[in-house]
Structure 1
């Protein structure tokens, strides 16, 4: 979502009202409110448990990949690049977005904190170069991409209950932001719309290339298991599908790098599965 945490929005989303309590010292989302009491789950609780407790690391990587995916849309890339934050401090910028999203998921849109974040998002994105359709796409990426990454690389796939809860959250946030949404009442409709939008709008741009260069060198490397971090950006490129690589002018990594990434992620999933 553009530069969603600048100015007063940054203060609101980054902790003056407590959302930073959703993160631990390493920036990982946690399952307790800023006062340390157990959170009361809202009707989207299955989604909150998945991304904040069951698979928080996978959710963070998936959210980061969703953020990167928006770079493939030239208009979004231009907005992000124009602020300078993504190129100058990509980790801080992405963490601010994560804090806002995880705060909304964990606290609920109807909580005092949720209402503050929604109002901040509405205010900061009220500019002529950010259309409702662009915002709709960004929100789709932030909802769909974490679930995709969990399905592919988590120790178990996303359940039907979790997908339904994710769609409920997505629809609620779309409504709160005044955005159009899929009318078929399920997450599959969001994914179909997202794929169709990408087929029409993905295109290379100088802003997209600049954002990818900044992100792949630092942000994605920090989200990966330690043995893989030193191989960024080749490792990061291994996590992109072909349409996104084409839009960002990213070459397909060598086969040994792709194999290493696949092995590392599968090994981690097996380890988590055995421990669960």
Structure 2
């Protein structure tokens, strides 16, 4: 198989009906490292939305147990990706997400924004740092995949096109991006965790932090009040990414899929796990009172994968 043969093969599939298979191959065969990195940076963007950052900060889950929360997020999404939304494991994973989200005052607007980051940020990452960008078919399949995931999670008014997802992300960030103590605390904890991932752990933490800052755009840096790296540092960081992309472009295509559970940074379950054990389990209802204007995704009232029309 040539380096671009899988792209050409995926172009023969229908992104409207075969989007899960297309996205699975994109995420686990074509760009496993890039997708994992870009989704990590997508999370930083969510911390810069005050309503999201403050809630995450108040729960303490992403500051006191950041490794486990990172692992749980990756493994739950991994189950959906590997087995499909219609599978038993995929349904169980979405049910777990609905149960967790239903315990907190999360608005539909915030849920949609997080979904948009998972669509837009990886595509932009591949444009800037990948060994090739997404094709039109792959981009459409990504949109369909996350739109369908959003539907199974009970979100309302889920965007259906790339332009709609991009507009949602841009509008929300321009309107709400800003500093909160909670958002910055969660961002710091996540960045500290990233410095421990191999091969990052071989370099001084300050170097990894600076490198990460250099890959963030000015809007995100301002919102989190991170220092803006100098022009030479930005150039060096992006040059390193270009060198990596050039090297990957010359590698043989991957033939075995790489899922999140196989990554060395997933460390919370050395003895194995089941999807039903992942995530948080609030035992006394919502730990934060909901205001009159809060709209929360609640598993008691929101259709999970088993109740979604057409599942």
Interval of TM-score (by shorter of Structure 1 and Structure 2):
0.7 to 0.9
Find the aligned partners of 1:91 and 1:247 in 2 and give their Cα distance: 24
2:56–2:183 contact (8 Å) kept in structure 1: no
| Residues 28-48 of structure 1, C-alpha deviations (whole Å, 9 max, x = no match) | xxxxxxxxxxxxx96421111
Match of 2:224 among 239, 248, 253: 248
Which structure has more helix as a fraction of its residues? 1
Give the equivalent residue in structure 1 for 2:42. Answer: 66
CA positional deviation for 1:135: 1.0
Is this contact kept in 2: 1:69–1:141, CA < 8 A?
A: yes
Q: How far, CA to CA, are the matches of 1:78 and 1:85 in structure 2?
A: 12
Deviation at 1:175, TM superposition (A): 0.8
Mapped partners of 1:128, 1:115: distance in 2: 21
Task: Tell me, yes or no, if the aligned pair for 1:72 and 1:248 is still in contact at 8 Å.
Answer: yes
Q: Which residue of 1 aligns with 2:213?
A: 237
Residue of structure 2 aligned with 1:136, choices 89, 105, 112: 112
State the shift of 1:220 in Å. Answer: 5.7
Q: Output aligned runs, 1:16-165, within 5 Å.
A: 43-127=19-103, 129-165=105-141
Gaps of 5+ in 2: 1-16, 253-311
Match of 2:161 among 173, 177, 186: 186
Q: Is the 8 A contact 1:109 1:173 kept in 2?
A: yes
Mark the structure with the bigger radius of gyration: 2
Q: Deviations over 1:79-132 (max 9, x none)?
A: 211222211232332222122223212221111111001111111111452111
The answer to whether 1:175 aligns with 2:173 is no
CA contact (8 A) 2:48 2:223 kept: yes
Farther off after superposition, 191-200 or 223-232: 223-232
Count the aligned residue pairs.
235
Partner Cα distance (1:163, 1:133) in 2: 23
Return the structure number with greater relative CO, CA threshold 8 A, min gap 6. 2
For residues 229-253 of structure 1, what are the alpha-carbon distances to aligned partners after superposition, in whole Å with 9 as ceiling and x for unaligned? 7412111111111111111011101
Deviates more, 1:111-120 or 1:213-222: 213-222
* Other structure's SS at 1:147 match: helix
Is contact 1:70–1:138 with CA below 8 Å preserved after alignment?
yes
- Does the CA contact (< 8 Å) of 2:194 and 2:200 recur in 1? no
Question: Of 188, 207, 219, which residue of structure 2 is paired with 1:213?
Answer: 188
Q: Give the direction of change, closer, same or farther, for the CA distance of 1:102–1:95 in structure 2 (3 Å limit).
A: same
Which residue is equivalent to 2:172?
197
Contact 2:119 2:165 survives alignment (8 Å): no
Provide the aligned C-alpha RMSD in A.
2.2
Instruction: Write the distance in 2 (CA, Å) between the matches of 1:131 and 1:58.
Output: 29
Classify 1:77/1:217 alpha carbon distance in 2 versus 1 (closer, same or farther; 3 Å). Answer: same
4+ runs deviating over 3 angstroms: 223-230
